[in-house]
Copies of this chain bind each other. A is one copy, B any other.
Amino acid sequence: MRSTSPTEAFPAHTPAASQIFTTVLSHGPLTRSEIAGRTRLSAAAVTKAVRPLIEAGYLVEDIAEDARQPVLGRPANPVRVDGGRALFLGIKVTGDELIAVLTDLCCRIRVARRVPLTSREPKAVLTSVAGLAQELLTEADGFGVQVRGLGIAVSGDVDRAAGVVRYSPFLEWRDVPLAELVATTTGLAVTLDNDVRALTVAEQWFGAGVGLSDFALVTVGAGIGCGLVVHGQVVAGAHGVAGEIGHVAIDPAGPRCHCGNRGCVEAIASDPAIVGRIREVTGASVADATEALALAHDGDPGAREVYARAGAAIGRGIATVANLLGPERVIISGEGLAAYDLFAEQIRDAFAAAAFGSAADCDVQTRPLPFEEWARGAAATAIQSFITASDAR
């Protein structure tokens, strides 16, 4: 009794149904008339599209609504997504470990797992991924619900449509058709995407990007990444590269970056850059970001100065994005956010100084990023694929 029995398709064949479902998915319980208003569909169209979704169990009516204030007229009947109706897997592949989550249809994490990666060879990674997927599928059996898809997130140049990792520096891969490999091994519908884009999808559907047609997500940590949503769609770039805020050069006199250039944001504000610079400045033997952070929190002026410069670099990078795209919001996230108190002020100041005109009106937010979040992003892409799969266009 595996939970991966033959997949029945998601019953949203029309654009309207698809749009309605994602609206409810993102905006929580909504009454039919609210849905009609948001989607600009007629109430009749909503009713018709909602019915099969309820019959299939993907939507449920919230009947027991106690806390509603007495209003005039027939009380509205909110509808919400039944998260428990389907499960999804998300796996983030890094250079040295796999992070996996089992989520429900609302992308809430049910189970999380982490396993180290012993080899970066595609074959070995495939085996690990398949093993981890099997493990989570067994867990999923306990919920009595099918797992309907597996999302995989890999950093680097990833072709989602083709399911191929074109080039991943961390894994040292070129043109690995990972989606197909994992699909044949696990029997699941596999969606492969770039890790930052996957996180952006999660944010767009389930996070701080809900309802926005233009926003940016900036991740700070071992690298500096950026996912962009323009016109309501994640930007993928004509050549597979987009959102490389880490390699936006902000200072020709800055430190050399591993990309060969000088003064990239990543060469100033990534964890390794900060650690290296602190070592250089203070002479202390700082091993990693945690120690660097501790030193700065201890009040070491040299270390604090390094963080301040990093913050300024990030702020300038964000301002560049804002100047070019004019997003409604920028969400800053990532492991590097642990040092937020050390560079928050500089980010804001540098952003405010470098943002041009009303680009400065852009709302800059921060969001903590638990380690499973990357894997959750992968799961979000799987959910997205599942929902839009049956959509003709």
**Chain A positions near chain B (C-beta within 8 angstroms):** 157, 166-167, 213-214, 226, 228, 230-231, 233, 235-245, 247-253, 259-261, 316, 319-321, 323-328, 353-354, 356-359, 361-362
- Bound CA span A208–B245, Å: 27
Contact of A324 among B245, B261, B354 (CB under 8 A): B245
Are A244 and B316 in touch, CB under 8 angstroms? Answer: no
A239 cross-chain contacts in B, Cβ below 8 A: 326, 328, 358-359, 361-362
Are A353 and B242 in touch, CB under 8 angstroms? Answer: no
Given A214-B237, A324-B244, A326-B239, answer yes or no on A358-B157 (Cβ-Cβ < 8 Å).
Answer: yes
Are A356 and B316 in touch, CB under 8 angstroms? Answer: no
A243 cross-chain contacts in B, Cβ below 8 A: 324
A259 cross-chain contacts in B, Cβ below 8 A: 356-357
A251 cross-chain contacts in B, Cβ below 8 A: 251-253
30 examples of A-B residue contacts, CB within 8 angstroms: A166-B358, A167-B357, A167-B358, A213-B238, A214-B237, A238-B327, A238-B362, A239-B326, A239-B361, A240-B326, A241-B356, A241-B358, A242-B324, A242-B325, A242-B326, A244-B323, A244-B356, A244-B357, A247-B323, A247-B356, A249-B250, A249-B316, A250-B252, A251-B251, A251-B252, A259-B356, A259-B357, A320-B324, A324-B324, A324-B325
A250 cross-chain contacts in B, Cβ below 8 A: 249-250, 252
- Bound CA span A238–B228, Å: 13
Q: How far is the CB of A338 from chain B (nearest CB, A)?
A: 26
A238-B326, A245-B323 given. 8 additional CB < 8 A pairs? A157-B358, A237-B359, A239-B362, A240-B358, A248-B320, A249-B354, A251-B252, A259-B357
**The 9 nearest A-B residue pairs measured at CB:** A237-B326, A238-B328, A247-B356, A242-B326, A244-B323, A239-B358, A230-B230, A241-B359, A239-B361
A238 cross-chain contacts in B, Cβ below 8 A: 213-214, 326-328, 362
A357 cross-chain contacts in B, Cβ below 8 A: 157, 167, 241, 244, 259
Are A249 and B319 in touch, CB under 8 angstroms? Answer: yes
Are B326 and A236 in touch, CB under 8 angstroms? Answer: yes
A231 cross-chain contacts in B, Cβ below 8 A: 230-231, 233, 235
- Bound CA span A328–B241, Å: 11
Contact of A237 among B244, B245, B325 (CB under 8 A): B325
Contact of A325 among B235, B252, B353 (CB under 8 A): B235
- Bound CA span A245–B244, Å: 16
- Bound CA span A34–B326, Å: 37
- Bound CA span A261–B321, Å: 16
A253 cross-chain contacts in B, Cβ below 8 A: 251, 253
Q: How far is the CB of A354 from chain B (nearest CB, A)?
A: 5
Given A250-B252, A356-B244, A359-B244, answer yes or no on A324-B236 (Cβ-Cβ < 8 Å).
Answer: no
A316 cross-chain contacts in B, Cβ below 8 A: 249
Q: How far is the CB of A74 from chain B (nearest CB, A)?
A: 30
